[in-house]
Amino acid sequence: MEIFERVQTKKDFLAVVGLGYVGLPIAVAFAEKVKTLGFDINQEKINVYKKGIDPTHEVGDKKIQSTTLEFTTDPTRLKEASVIIVAVPTPVNGDKTPDLAPVVNASKVVGQNLSKDSIVIFESTVYPGVTEDVCVPILENESRLVCGKDFKVGYSPERINPGDKMHKLENIRKIVSGMDKETVENIAAVYELIIHAGVYKVPSIKVAEAAKLVENAQRDINIAFMNELAMVFDRMGINTKDVVDAMNTKWNALGFYPGLVGGHCIGVDPYYFIYQAEMLGYHSQIIAAGRKINDNMGIFVADMVIKKLIQSDKNVKKSNIYIMGITFKENCPDMRNSKAVDVCKHLATYGIKVKVVDPVVDQMELKREFDTELVDIKDVKNADCLVFLVAHRQFEELRLTDVNSMFKKQTKHVIVDIKNIFEQETIEKKGYSYWSL
């Protein structure tokens, strides 16, 4: 437990590499207990944090302004740390294969600045074997140190749910693993400093890597099942929410609803599992099918927008359409892998240009990811159609009179509401053309 004691007594730093939606909350939490370095290669991001601004909304400006966390872009500072946590993103390529470039590059930086008798803990989501078969050789090559003798490695998958103010870092049980028993105990002791819910020790690094993939693949499959039901029930003229609400009265119902599945976890992690399975000669059937359904839901929703416009005798190409919500989930500025973007892009293939309303989106990220007009909610007017794709708090607080003022006068009002923000019977009584997923 010597490494843990060096951190606990503030003799050495603990460092977090990658300060995004996952790394920043972890780094700030550790800074309340031990000397902590927060490293990121993005100077612009570090400058924003140093100004006391949290664009992720995961920590909040107040905590950023008061934290003792030392922000840096200087990789040599990592030499001062005996525990280094790597929390960089692991996206997929255009062909849906794993993009390990961020974790590979992070391993190189860490290896070049790795001190003897340290522990490197990976949190980035990867398929089983990446930590030991990909990252360790890089660490050894760059540091000229020997894993197991000069330094140790472990894996503890991130389980943060962006935008969720109930299930936060400290009350989500942490899975921990290490290359040997001593490493597991050190890593467990480190995380127990900040995780009130405690840790769960697993027998190997590969088990921990696999656990992260399957917990998200499980959610993906369940939502895909709901999405398939929604598409069939639409043809049957049945309201999906009514069916699911009825089903959820049984004690063993799982409580899933249909929707757009994006983000950096559920919409990505299953592809890591599928890739590794295929490398071993097994073609995924259930997980791959679920991904196919969820990846195509943006197209289905976009086609329903067009259908509702035509049924309401609207000139589709000239219709004034507002997309209400562009992030991948409610009350979160993150729009990585947002399927709301897919809806917009599919509508664009028909020559339809939409306007986007999103009160919480990171506007710089929006410019990078999707070039479109961002409209303030108070400036929405003369609409033909409102498409509610994300249930932001500001949308849920809208009254029907507020919504009515956004539409053109004396025309059919069309609302597509995939999050069931509004009550269908009430809104249809007001003469709206309404559709929900």
Q: Which domains does the chain have, with CATH numbers?
A: 2-203 (3.40.50.720), 213-293 (1.10.1040.10), 296-436 (3.40.50.720)
Instruction: Name the H helices within 67-119.
Output: 101-112
Average pLDDT over residues 367-378: 86
Q: How far apart are CA 52 and CA 43, in angstroms?
A: 15
Q: Is 265 a catalytic residue?
A: yes
* Alpha carbons 206 and 128: distance in angstroms, whole number: 5
pLDDT tens sequence across 65-124 = 999 999 999 999 999 999 999 999 999 999 999 999 999 999 999 999 999 999 999 999
Beta pairing class for 174-178 and 151-155: antiparallel
pLDDT tens across 138-151, in order?
999 999 999 999 99
262 pLDDT more than 80: yes
Average pLDDT of the residues in 222-227: 96
pLDDT band at 364 (very low <50, low <70, confident <90, very high): confident
Please list, in sequence order, all residues whose beta carbon lies within 8 angstroms of the beta carbon of residue 148, skipping any fewer than 6 positions away.
179, 180
Is 80 exceeded by the pLDDT of residue 1? Answer: no
| pLDDT single digits (tens) 248-258 | 999 999 999 99
**CA dist., res. 288 & res. 271, Å (int):** 8
Q: Mind listing the pLDDT tens digit for each residue in 377-399?
A: 999 999 999 999 999 999 999 99
Marked catalytic residue, from 135, 265, 332, 385: 265
CB 81 within 8 A of CB 15: yes
Rg (CA), the chain: 24
pLDDT of residue 20: 92
**With 90 as the cut, is the pLDDT of residue 412 above it?**
no
Using DSSP bridges, classify how beta strands 321-324 and 355-357 pair: parallel, antiparallel or unpaired: parallel
Q: By the 8 A CB rule, do 104 and 68 touch?
A: no
What percent of the chain has pLDDT above 90? Answer: 86
